[in-house]
Amino acid sequence: MVQRVFAWVLAALLLPVVATADGSGPTFWMPDQASTISTGIDRVFYIIYWISAAFFVGIVVAMVMFALAYRRKRAGQPAKSQTDHNMAIEAIWTIVPLGLAIYIFYIGFAGFMDFRTVPANAYEVNVEGQQWNWSFTYPNGYVTNELHVPVDRPIRLTMTSVDVLHSFFVPEFRIKYDVLPGKYTTAWFHATKSGEYNVFCTEYCGTSHSQMRTKVVVHDPGMFQPWLDAASNWIDTMSPVEAGQRVYQVRGCTQCHSIDGSSGIGPSFKGIWGRTEQMKSGEQVVVDENYVRESVLEPQAKIVAGYDGVMPTYQGRLKEDEIRVLIAYLKSLSGEGS
């Protein structure tokens, strides 16, 4: 009976290893390794895992043996003698765990330093978290809401939030770091495999926290710069309405303003152009170019009755050109302009 329990415990502990023996690709515990630091982080994880597993087995075995050896005897039978002190055992169980703790601290700290030390030649991308959207700004000012990076090059992310706490997490890169309002934080990675990887927000940030996901697209060697050059031209190559739609989708408007007439955190954009809106202050305002521009740059100036003034400002975040095409898009949603 004892042997059978023991065999099951051992099988359960070995299962993850048997299931992950080939060493590449996702494993039982961990997703694919796609950045330079992932192997080091996984090594720390597995070392701690195996130390814990060994102690777990040792403790269970000792517990079962002691339970059997010292179980209640029949009346009148004398109990076995108990040793109350053993210097050698005491020394072993002090020195061995101390050595292990120092070792775990060492490998953990070395891994942490790799995770926090940004290589000097890193390519810099600015990251902005906003309920419930990510945006990424490249050195030439181009903005996307999927992160695009070259393979085999360290990438430095300079991150901030326009509203509440978020956290940037890419499981395959083994990076996760908080994104804070009013402060910059940095994270870095060096992708070793091209492809697409999921990005998650791992700080509870309100209603649609679980929807705050995007992708990292890691481009093949030599393909990133051509992609960036072509994509950066969007405002000149798209019609104003298409370009405005892109601003609407990429810059986080979609999270609060629907285009199907349904009411969200802010008023729907459907049919909004030219409408007379009742403001909280009692004032009535016609939705025109100047009102839209003001609402983008100074959202708190006029708040439509029935809504809260929660919109963040886009001052310094949208260029005049982008506001211009956004206005063209709003007009098109009301069947005006073209």
User: Which residues make up the interface to ligand CUA (CB under 6 A)?
Assistant: 129, 132, 166, 201, 203-205, 209, 212
Least spacing, CB of residue 135 vs ligand CUA, in Å? 12
Nearer to ligand CUA, 132 or 273 (CB): 132
Strand partners, 191: 35
For residue 23, CA distances in Å to 27, 31, 233 come to 8, 12, 42
**Neighbouring C-beta atoms of residue 199, cutoff 10 Å:** 22
DSSP 253: G
Q: Give the shortest CB-250-to-ligand CUA separation in angstroms.
A: 17
Judged by CB, which is closer to ligand CUA: 124, or 163?
163
- Please give the Cα distance from 288 to 275 (Å, whole number): 8
CA-nearest of 296, 299, 303 to 244 is: 296
Least distance (Å) between residue 324 CB and ligand CUA = 30
Smallest gap from Cβ 17 to ligand CUA, in A, equals: 34
Choice between 206 and 226, CB closer to ligand CUA: 206
Of 112 and 200, the one with the shorter C-beta distance to ligand CUA is: 200
Residue number, 203 or 322, with CB nearest to ligand CUA = 203
Q: Is 108 exposed, middle or buried (0-12, 13-18, 19+ CB in 10 A)?
A: middle
Nearest of 171, 315, 319 to residue 234 by alpha carbon:
319
Kindly state the smallest distance separating residue 167's Cβ from ligand CUA, in Å. Answer: 7
Smallest distance from ligand CUA to CB 212, Å? 4
Question: In sequence order, what are the residues at sequence separation of 6 or more whose Cβ sits closer than 8 angstroms to the Cβ of residue 215?
Answer: 146, 147, 196, 197, 198, 199
Q: CB-wise, 100 or 265, nearer to ligand CUA?
A: 265
User: Which two tokens mark 132?
Assistant: 């419930």
User: Minimum CB separation from ligand CUA for residue 177, in Å?
Assistant: 13
Q: Residue 222: in which H helix or E strand, if any?
A: none
Are 280 and 304 a contacting pair, CB within 8 Å? yes
Reading the block at residue 60, the tokens are: 């269970």
What's the DSSP call for residue 80?
A: P
In terms of phi and psi (left: phi > 0; alpha: psi -120 to 50; beta: otherwise), the region of 105 is alpha
Q: Which is nearer to ligand CUA, 93 or 204 (CB)?
A: 204
3 state SS of 318:
coil
CB of 162 to ligand CUA, least distance (A): 11
* CB closer to ligand CUA out of 185 and 334: 185
Would you give the end-to-end CA distance of the chain in angstroms?
80
Distance in angstroms (rounded) separating the CA atoms of residues 136 and 199: 12
268 CB neighbour count, 10 Å cutoff: 16
> What minimum distance in Å lies between the beta carbon of 264 and ligand CUA?
17
Of 129 and 244, nearer to ligand CUA (C-beta) is: 129
